[in-house]
Structure 1
Amino acid sequence: MSGRRVDGGNGASRKRLPESFGESDAIRPRHLRARRRSPLWLKISAGLVSLALVAGIGLAGVLFLRFQGNIKGEQLNAGLGGNSAPVADDNRDAIQILIMGTDTRSGKDASYGSEDDSSGYGNSDVMILMNLSADRKRVSMVSFPRDLMVPFPGCKDAKTGQIFPAQRAIQLNSALSMAGPGCTVETINKFTGLTIDHFMMADFTAVKDLTTALGGVDVCVDLPVVDQASGLNLPAGTSSISGDQALAFLRTRHAFGDGSDLDRIQSQQAFLASMTRKIKSEGTLANVPKLLQIADIVTSNLTVDQGLSNAPALIAMANRLKDVDLAKVAFVTVPNEAYALDPNRVQLKPEANQLFAALQADADLTQPAPPSSTAPPATANSQPPVQPAFDRSLQPVIVSNASGLAARGAELRQNLVSAGYTDAVRNDSVAVQPTTQLLYGRDFADVAQDIAAKYGIPSSALVSAPALAGVQLVIGQDFVSGTAYGQVSVPSDLQVNTAQQPTQCRQVTNSGG
């Protein structure tokens, strides 16, 4: 954030003469000028204006102190080796903010259950990565399922000093309960290869109070629904909901779809899109009393990283977002599939790496991706692919994942197996490196060239390594998605909704009663 401009000494009290103030005027004795008495109405008006200015400045100061006192700040990154220092936003770069909802039942949220259900930091009920493009014209909202199984890099709780060691896999929403929001930030950073700039964490009360202040948010259901677990009770059609009903709509896992967290994510995205439309259409950002009320609610129920833990930083962030076109606010869910060890949980699909690479490249998720094709485009002079003079199934290939993305090695190893390199094995215990390399041993140059041709890896990346018994593909940060080296695109089957689209009715599969 830019610092305040300071005029040295008591420069704020110095006044400059207007440019039209001539030298002769400056030296003319005041008693030689014609004296005119100001009209009474002018004196009264001047007094009222002065009073209004003083009152306005005083009110602004009180509000600033109040909002500043409301804000709760914590460290951005709780990783064992991470940098927890506040981030200085760069207007030339994209900004990524992790938005979390905690299910803690302590404090003001105690009415939603006992502290045995969830105390301390709680678990993450909602995890959405908001990417604000570098040109400040686009926003991408990427939802992570709470049941997503991911590698855990290890964290340290800044409050207690307790260390939580790295684990092969944890359920993503549990990272918050270990070492706070900074632990969730570190965990997502590691498996996405991204660097999150900020986080915002809200509780149940924030949802209730904010939707009430907005006068309700429109949602739609195709059938009447009564969900005993969440308290959701809606008639068929469109309803404006706020307070407890808004919270129930966001929390229900039984009314829609198969009761999974993935169906709840769709409800959350539809709700956020509707709320965005309402704020834009009703001019909320230009309604000063409403804006002050919302600011008070948000800052009273929000925990942010230290880089956002001051009123000017939050105001600057709001200003960056206010002019984004609704058609350029995209909602997506990270590509996932059933977890191999437990079908009740999910894991990342290989296409997730392509999405993360698109976010790193600040790609527009609202632009449709070109249709995928496994074959090169046909041309008049195209020739059938040349079959190598060796048996691919007999060639020893090591796939070393140095991309920084957890699943990237498994993805390309499987791709090589499908191409006939059935002896390919993985090695994920390598340090991250920026560029991709193909190392080849004596008599394996042709194998390396075949693999390079398959992916479009340049010949400059091929490195002779005589001691190597085979070929080693070292996947760098320049090859983090797809099977075409150097190309970044949005996954072709990614489901993208925008805030501009009208409210769609959620299909009720369990109407309760």
Structure 2
Amino acid sequence: MLTSVFWGKRGLAMIRRREQLTGIARHGRLRRSHPVRTALGLVAASLAVLLVSTAAVAGIALWQFSSTVSANSIDLNGADVPDAAPSIGSYESGFNILIVGVDNDAEQGGAYGDRDSALNDVNILVHVSADHTNAVVVSIPRDLIVAHPTCTNADTGEEFSSMSARPVNEAMSRGGLPCVVHTIEELTGLEIPFAGLASFDGVVRMSDAVGGVPICLTEAINDPLADLDLPAGTSVVSGSTALAFLRSRHGVGDGGDLSRISSQQIYLASLMRTVQGDGTFTNLPKLFSLASAAATNIKLSKPLANTDTMVSMALALKDIDLTRLVFVQYPGTTDDPDFPNKVVPLQGLADTMFAKILADEPFALAAEDPEPTETPVDPEAPIDPEAPVATDTPVIEAAPEVLDGLTGRTANDESCAQAFTG
């Protein structure tokens, strides 16, 4: 951007200098204008102005975006920041990102109700494997009973002691986004260097920037508490309607809080299909729209508040096989009498799942019933004398292990949300 601005000022100075030199009227014979030459000159000049203006606007927009993201960034209490941002290109390794949604952001007023403190009611952990062939999106229920570590509120300096068993959504009030990240790290055993904090208003703005997401309903939904009224079948939702669908509890599933996670997964799976299918990753106007919406409505951790980093992560996701992008709910039960109306972890299943995530091993859900993948042998491929003798028999790749008991879907699952009829 600085280069564009420099040349812009220099060009303006040259024009003014030329006007000063040619400001004295000189008598002489004027050249006869040629209509075709004049028209071509105007076209060329217009194109030049357009190109220069576009470059300047793009540079200014990028600078404003980077500045806004940096200004809104959050320090995760000393989280490691990479020595240098990766160059533009696909991210070179795997990564973990935690997206946190708060229900009572002070900046959005009382539009969505008032509470004594902000709660992290939405906690979505995204893991992308090192080879970018698979990814897992784990939704953590807000009422999941977890151990809470010691946390310090960076704004007030207040210290909070550890707790053995409290709902995960209390972490936000104990120390903001850094405390939520630390709590989820201890719960999952994963390092989470990247995180983002979004409010209800942020969800509305981001869904508008995407341009709408198709969702399918088995029956019509009318949930006055969430201000949601949608017909059966497929609707394209954005803005406040998208937020209402994501917030609705009494309109979907069994009317319980966990049903909202299913709605979020349906929405996110459709969102991924939409942006992968409509060329969003290569559409500059859409990317700038999304970047502006993200910069002004999502607060990012400092390691993530870098333009190159975000673009690199997007490129790592743009070609991922939708059957290898799994949305799953953290395994838990609501039947524990010691914690009525809460979710208690199914620790054995959770440990197995996160061991696979940590090892970058893909897994499948029971409902998928995956088939082995056949990789045909190329008969014209060069022969390696040290390799086993090739045959025409297809190589059978082992199907991902099925983890029974997990609830979720893959990104290519286009099934409809179940309306609450009880």
User: Fold match, TM over 0.5?
Assistant: yes
Deviation at residue 190 of structure 1 after TM alignment: 1.1
Deviation at residue 244 of structure 1 after TM alignment: 1.4
**What residue is the counterpart of 1:231 in the other structure?**
227
**What secondary structure is seen at the aligned counterpart in 1 of 2:157?**
coil
Deviation at residue 177 of structure 1 after TM alignment: 1.8
CA contact (8 A) 2:363 2:401 kept: no
Distance in 1 (CA, whole Å) between partners of 2:109 and 2:278 is 30
**What secondary structure is seen at the aligned counterpart in 1 of 2:225?**
coil
**Mapped pair 1:287 → 2:287:** no
**What residue is the counterpart of 1:346 in the other structure?**
343
Distance in 1 (CA, whole Å) between partners of 2:109 and 2:415 is 29
Give CA deviations for 1:119-143 in whole Å, capped at 9, x if unaligned. 4xx2112111100110122221011
Q: How does 1:160-199 map to 2 (within 5 A)?
A: 160-199=156-195
CA contact (8 A) 2:80 2:193 kept: no
Larger relative contact order, structure 1 or 2 (CA cutoff 8 Å, min sep 6) = 2
> What letter is aligned with 2:361?
A
Aligned residues: 347
**What residue is the counterpart of 2:80 in the other structure?**
85
> What letter is aligned with 1:64?
L
Distance in 1 (CA, whole Å) between partners of 2:301 and 2:275 is 25
**Which runs of 5 or more structure 2 residues have no equivalent in the other structure?**
1-36, 370-399
Q: What is the root-mean-square deviation in Å for CA atoms of aligned residues? A: 2.7
User: Which residue of 128, 131, 137 maps to 1:132?
Assistant: 128
**Mapped pair 1:203 → 2:199:** yes
Distance in 2 (CA, whole Å) between partners of 1:40 and 1:232 is 60
> What letter is aligned with 1:499?
A
CA contact (8 A) 2:104 2:113 kept: no
**Mapped pair 1:337 → 2:333:** yes
**What secondary structure is seen at the aligned counterpart in 2 of 1:130?**
strand
**What residue is the counterpart of 2:67 in the other structure?**
69
> What letter is aligned with 2:111?
S
Closer/same/farther in 2, CA of residues 503 and 295 from structure 1, 3 Å limit: farther
**Mapped pair 1:509 → 2:385:** no
**What residue is the counterpart of 2:391 in the other structure?**
none
**What residue is the counterpart of 1:101 in the other structure?**
101
Give CA deviations for 1:37-56 in whole Å, capped at 9, x if unaligned. xx989977775565444323
CA contact (8 A) 1:334 1:355 kept: no
**What secondary structure is seen at the aligned counterpart in 1 of 2:290?**
helix
**What residue is the counterpart of 1:481 in the other structure?**
none
**Which runs of 5 or more structure 1 residues have no equivalent in the other structure?**
1-38, 372-487
Closer/same/farther in 2, CA of residues 57 and 259 from structure 1, 3 Å limit: same
Taking structure 1 as the reference length, the TM-score comes to: 0.62
Distance in 2 (CA, whole Å) between partners of 1:255 and 1:41 is 63
**What secondary structure is seen at the aligned counterpart in 2 of 1:223?**
coil
CA contact (8 A) 1:284 1:291 kept: yes
**What residue is the counterpart of 1:419 in the other structure?**
none
> What letter is aligned with 1:285?
F
Distance in 2 (CA, whole Å) between partners of 1:85 and 1:160 is 23
Q: How does 1:28-39 map to 2 (within 5 A)?
A: none
Closer/same/farther in 2, CA of residues 134 and 41 from structure 1, 3 Å limit: farther
Distance in 2 (CA, whole Å) between partners of 1:112 and 1:368 is 37
Give CA deviations for 1:444-497 in whole Å, capped at 9, x if unaligned. xxxxxxxxxxxxxxxxxxxxxxxxxxxxxxxxxxxxxxxxxxxx9663332341
> What letter is aligned with 1:207?
V
**What residue is the counterpart of 2:375 in the other structure?**
none
**What residue is the counterpart of 1:440 in the other structure?**
none
**What residue is the counterpart of 2:387 in the other structure?**
none
CA contact (8 A) 1:354 1:489 kept: no
Q: Which has the higher helix share?
A: 2
CA contact (8 A) 2:365 2:403 kept: no
Once superposed, which parts of structure 1, at least 4 consecutive aligned residues long, lie more than 4 Å away?
39-50, 87-92, 367-371
User: Which residue of 29, 39, 54 maps to 1:56?
Assistant: 54
CA contact (8 A) 1:369 1:489 kept: no
**What secondary structure is seen at the aligned counterpart in 2 of 1:73?**
coil
Taking structure 2 as the reference length, the TM-score comes to: 0.75
Distance in 2 (CA, whole Å) between partners of 1:207 and 1:218 is 16
Distance in 1 (CA, whole Å) between partners of 2:359 and 2:402 is 10
CA contact (8 A) 2:133 2:321 kept: yes
